Amino acid sequence: MQLTLYSDYSLRVLIYLGLKGTELATITEIATSYNISRNHLVKVVHNLANQGFIATIRGKGGGMRLARAPQEINIGEVVRMTEMNFTVVECFDPDNCRCPITPVCRLKGVLHDALEQFLGVLDQYTLEEVIGNGPQLVRILKIPEGRKSARGSRARA
């Protein structure tokens, strides 16, 4: 049972941008910090922007930053958006369900409950809480300190 790499990378981008505050970050910079493929991040960033989680500024000196404060970015909301497929078992997808017992299957209900509980935990957290240990994350990710950083004291420590 796994989240997609797409969800994983989306969350990593948001963590990075949360740590940078109002400063702009580039895809290359984020890819380098996490040591992941830049190409993978292009679609991730595009989608996060489309969904209103991040703002992108084009052109030389451009980049991206969060479009909302970290306390307004709910982890459950992000994962519900990025994880396009919650087909825990095939009957969760009516278009591709071939299991004959689906109409009366109680297991389906149990698995639905389980999925809701999973997402319910994520709903309890915001990005602000996830990056609550900003200084440690900033150090590990080697995020450069900018002149106009608005990361707050946590990230500057």
Do the Cβ atoms of 65 and 54 come closer than 8 Å? yes
According to the binding rule CB under 8 A, does residue 157 interact with a second copy? no
Task: Tell me the closest approach of the beta carbon of residue 119 to a second copy, in angstroms.
Answer: 7
Task: Return the range that interacts with a second copy (CB under 8 A); candidates 11-19, 54-62, 65-73, 145-153.
Answer: 11-19
Task: Return the range that interacts with a second copy (CB under 8 A); candidates 20-28, 38-46, 50-58, 135-143.
Answer: 135-143
Task: Tell me the closest approach of the beta carbon of residue 92 to a second copy, in angstroms.
Answer: 9
d(CA 152, CA 122): 25
According to the binding rule CB under 8 A, does residue 52 interact with a second copy? no
According to the binding rule CB under 8 A, does residue 122 interact with a second copy? yes
C-alpha distance from residue 129 to each of 35, 89, 116 (Å): 24, 31, 21
- Which of 132, 144, 152, 157 binds a second copy (CB under 8 A)? It is 132
According to the binding rule CB under 8 A, does residue 125 interact with a second copy? yes
Quick one: how far is CA 105 from the chain centroid?
33
According to the binding rule CB under 8 A, does residue 119 interact with a second copy? yes
Residues 68-97 within binding reach of a second copy (CB under 8 A): 75, 83, 85-90
Contacts to a second copy by CB under 8 A: 1-4, 7-8, 11-12, 15, 33-36, 75, 83, 85-90, 98-101, 103-107, 110-111, 113-115, 117-122, 125, 129-133, 136-137, 140-141
